[in-house]
Amino acid sequence: MLAYQIHEEKNKLFVELEGDLDIESTEIINNELLPRFLQHETVVIDFATVGFVDSSGMGLLIQIVKQMKEKDQQIQIIHVKEDILEVFDMVQMHEIIGNDVIV
Amino acid sequence: MKDEEIPAKDGYPLQVIASEGTQFVADNIMATEAGRPVIEQRGRTVKTMVMSRYVHQGNVNIKSGNIKFNGDVEIVGEVEENMKVEAGGDIYIHQAISESTITASKSIISKGNVLQSMVTAGKHNLLVIELGNLLRIMEKQLSKMLTIIQQMMGAKAYKQKEFETKGLQPLIIILLERKFIDFRTYAQKYVDIINKGSEYIDEEDWMEVSEELQSIFLVLSNQKTTLGHLHHLQETMNELAETTKEEVEPNSYVTVSSATNSTVYSSGNVNIVGKGCINTKVHAGGKLVIQNVLRGGEVFGRLGVSVAEAGAVSGTKTIISTTSDYSITISHAYEGTVLRIGEATRQLTREEYNIKAVLGDDEEIVIR
Per-residue pLDDT reduced to its tens digit, A9-58: 888 999 999 999 998 999 999 999 999 998 889 999 999 999 999 999 99
Is A73 within a domain?
A: yes
**Chain B residues contacting A via beta carbons under 8 Å:** 148, 151-152, 155-159, 161-162, 165-166, 170-171, 173-175, 177-179
Judging contacts by C-beta atoms under 8 Å, the chain B residues touching residue A91 are 148, 174-175, 177-179
CATH number, residue A61: 3.30.750.24
Per-residue pLDDT reduced to its tens digit, A75-101: 999 999 999 999 999 999 999 999 889
Is A103 within a domain?
A: no
Per-residue pLDDT reduced to its tens digit, B320-363: 999 999 999 999 999 999 999 988 899 998 999 999 999 887 67
Is A57 within a domain?
A: yes
Judging contacts by C-beta atoms under 8 Å, the chain A residues touching residue B148 are 90-91
Look up the domain containing A88 and give its range.
2-97
Per-residue pLDDT reduced to its tens digit, B198-233: 777 777 889 999 999 999 999 987 788 999 999 999
Is A53 within a domain?
A: yes
Is A17 within a domain?
A: yes
Is A102 within a domain?
A: no
Q: Is A54 on the interface with B (CB under 8 A)?
A: yes
Report the number of distinct structural domains present in chain A: 1
Q: Could you tell me which of A39, A2, A29, A38 has the C-alpha nearest to residue A17?
A: A2
For range B12-37, the mean pLDDT = 80
Q: How open is the CA angle B362-B364-B367, to the nearest 5 degrees?
A: 135
Q: Could you tell me which of A85, A74, A91 has the C-alpha nearest to residue B148?
A: A91
Judging contacts by C-beta atoms under 8 Å, the chain B residues touching residue A90 are 148, 151-152, 155, 179
Q: Could you tell me which of B335, B336, B339 has the C-alpha nearest to residue B298?
A: B339
Taking one residue from A and the other from B, the number of pairs with CB-CB distance under 8 angstroms is 64
Find the Cα–Cα–Cα–Cα dihedral B122, B124, B127, B129, rounded to 10°. -80
Q: Over 60: is that where the pLDDT of B75 sits?
A: yes
Kindly report the average pLDDT of chain B as a whole number: 89
Q: Is the ipTM of this complex over 0.95?
A: no
Q: What is the pLDDT of residue B249?
A: 66
Judging contacts by C-beta atoms under 8 Å, the chain B residues touching residue A54 are 158-159, 161-162, 170-171
Is A59 within a domain?
A: yes
A22-52 burial, b for 16+ CB within 10 Å, e for fewer?
bbbbeebbeeebeeebeebebbbbbbeebeb
Is A28 within a domain?
A: yes
Is A90–B179 a contact, with Cβ atoms under 8 angstroms apart?
Answer: yes
Q: Which among B151, B158, B175 has the least Cβ separation from residue A52?
A: B158
Q: What is the pLDDT of residue B246?
A: 61
The length of chain B is 368
Chain B residue closest in CA terms to A80: B157
Query: In which band, very low, low, confident or very high, does the pLDDT at B248 lie, cut at 50, 70 and 90?
Result: low
